[in-house]
Amino acid sequence: MIPLYEASSQFHNWRFSAQNLDQIRSSLNAAAVGVIRNTFEADQPGSSASISFLNPDEELLLVRLYASKIPQLCGFFRFPEEVEATAVSYLKRFYLKNTVMDWHPKNVMLTALFLATKTTNHPIALDAYANNIPKTTPSDVVDLEFLVAQSLGFEFAVWHAHRALWGIWLDLQSLPDAPPDRATSQRDVYEAALKHVRSSRLSDAELIYTPSQIALAALSIADPELASEWSHSKFPSESASIPHLDNTLAAIRALIEAAANPQDVEVVRAVDLRLKICKNPEKVVGSKAYLAKKAEEERKAEEKRTRKAADAPPTEGDPFGDELAGRLVDYDDDDDD
C-alpha cells in the first residue's frame, strides 16, 4: 500500500527540483517577452526596443510580495490557517504556468484566496469578500477564477507543512521517554517551529520538498535536539538515511531563513512600476491590442457557429426538428450559455 501522500496530485504534479523551477520560470518569461514584444511591434514597429522587460527573478519578487499579503488578509477575515496556506500554494503554482507580465499578482492573489476559502470548505459570499478589500469589485475576484482553477489543473487539494508539523508534535508527545508534560512545557518550541513553517511559505520549499521534510526542518531551527529525537524514533540508529536527511534539512533551513528576511520594498516597487509598461497589452481591458484580440476571438466563434449550422442535417417537414436521438449536432453544446 503506497503512502497516502504519494498518491496525491501534489506528489505527482507539483514537485520539482530547484533547477526545474528555474527552467520553467525562464522559459515562461522568455515566451511572454516574445509575445509581448510582437504585440508592441504589430502596433507600432520599433516600439518594443525601449521597453525593459522583467526577468524571472524580478517576477518572483513580485509574486513573493503578494504572497506575503495573504496572511494579512486572512488575519482580517479571520480565515483559518488552512485557507492561508492553500491560497499561498495556489498563487505559487499559478506562476509556474503563467507570468506576472500577463496576469498581475495582485488580482491573482485575491482570486487565489477566494478560491482557497471554497476548496477548504470555509466559503464566504463574494460580495462580503470583495466589499472588504479596498478598490476591489466582485468581478475583479471571480473573473480570474476560472483561469486560476485551470492553471492549478483543477487540483485543489494541497498537503501542508503545518499539518505535518502538528503530526510530528503529536508524535513527540507520545514517544516512550517523552516527559509527560511535554504538550505544555515545550509548547513554545512548537509555536516557534510553526513560525518557521509560515516563513517557508514565502520560499520555494513546498515545490521541492515534502510537507514533513519542511516541518522537520522548521522544528530543527526551533529545537535541533527535539528534531533529532523525532528522526531517531523514526529511523533505526546507524541508518544510512540520517545523514541524507540532515543534508535535506540543511537545504530547507537555508530556504526558510532566506524567506524570513523582509523584502526591500523599494526594489519591489520599482519592479512593479516597470511592469506597468511591459505588461501584455492584450490583457489590458480597452487597449488597442485587447480590442483586436477580442475581435479576432469573435470572428472565430462566428465561423464556428456558421460551420456548425452548415453541418447540421437539413430538417424537413417538422418545423420543430427531427427526433433528438437522430440529431448529431447538439445545440446546447454551444458552451456560451
Partner 1 sequence: MDAVEKANAERQKRWVKDQKIGEGTYAVVYRGREASSGRQVAIKKIKVGLFKDGLDMSAIREVKYLRELKHQNIIELLDVFSSKTNLNLVLEFLESDLERVIKDRSLVFLPADIKSWMAMTFRGLEFCHRNWILHRDLKPNNLLIASDGQLKIADFGLARDFADPGYKMTCQVITRCVCAAVGYSRDSDINHGWYRPPELLFGSRYYSTAVDIWSVGCIFAELMLRTPYLAGESDMDQLNTIFRALGSPTEQDWPGHTKLPDYVPIGHFTRAPLRDLFTAASVDALNLLTQCLIYEPKKRITAKDALSHAYFFAPPYPSHPSKLPKTSPPVNTTQPLDEIDGNTLSGKNNRKRKLSSSTDETKTRSAVARRLDFTKTTPGS
Q: Rounded CA gap, 233 and 200, in Å?
A: 25
Q: Rounded CA gap, 70 and 150, in Å?
A: 21
Between 126 and 268, name the residue whose CB sits nearer to partner 1.
126
Candidate ranges 51-59, 139-147, 177-185, 310-318; the one touching partner 1 (CB under 8 A): 139-147
Between 25 and 253, name the residue whose CB sits nearer to partner 1.
25
Candidate ranges 59-67, 123-131, 178-186, 259-267; the one touching partner 1 (CB under 8 A): 123-131
**Binding to partner 1, residues 217-276 (CB under 8 A):** none
Is residue 163 within 8 A of residue 193, CB to CB? The reply is: no
The angle subtended at Cα 313 by Cα 311 and Cα 317, nearest 5°, is 150
Is residue 131 within 8 A of residue 99, CB to CB? The reply is: no
Nearest approach, Cβ of residue 243 and partner 1 (Å): 32
Nearest approach, Cβ of residue 56 and partner 1 (Å): 15
Write the CB contacts of 31 (distance below 8 Å, at least 6 apart in sequence): 99
**Binding to partner 1, residues 78-97 (CB under 8 A):** 97
Q: Rounded CA gap, 301 and 141, in Å?
A: 26
In whole angstroms, how far apart are CA 129 and each of 126, 219, 324, 336? 5, 35, 44, 27
Among 39, 48, 119, 248, binds partner 1 (CB under 8 A): 119
- By CB under 8 A, tell whether 311 contacts partner 1: no
Nearest one of 109, 27, 119, 10 to 64, comparing CA atoms: 109
- By CB under 8 A, tell whether 9 contacts partner 1: yes
- By CB under 8 A, tell whether 141 contacts partner 1: yes
Instruction: Give the CB-side neighbour count of residue 181, counting CA atoms within 13 A.
Output: 3
Q: Which amino acid is at 229?
A: E
Between 4 and 273, name the residue whose CB sits nearer to partner 1.
4
Between 127 and 188, name the residue whose CB sits nearer to partner 1.
127
Q: Rounded CA gap, 181 and 7, in Å?
A: 36
| Count, residues near partner 1 per rule CB under 8 A | 39
**Binding to partner 1, residues 143-172 (CB under 8 A):** 145-147, 149-151, 153-157, 163
Nearest approach, Cβ of residue 37 and partner 1 (Å): 16
- By CB under 8 A, tell whether 302 contacts partner 1: no
Residue with the three cell numbers 498581475: 104
- By CB under 8 A, tell whether 98 contacts partner 1: yes
Among 18, 31, 277, 284, binds partner 1 (CB under 8 A): 31
Q: Rounded CA gap, 249 and 243, in Å?
A: 10
Q: Rounded CA gap, 300 and 307, in Å?
A: 10
- By CB under 8 A, tell whether 63 contacts partner 1: no
Q: Which residues bind partner 1 (CB under 8 A)?
A: 4, 7-9, 28, 31, 97-98, 102, 114-115, 118-119, 121, 123, 125-126, 141-142, 145-147, 149-151, 153-157, 163, 324-325, 330, 332-333, 335-337
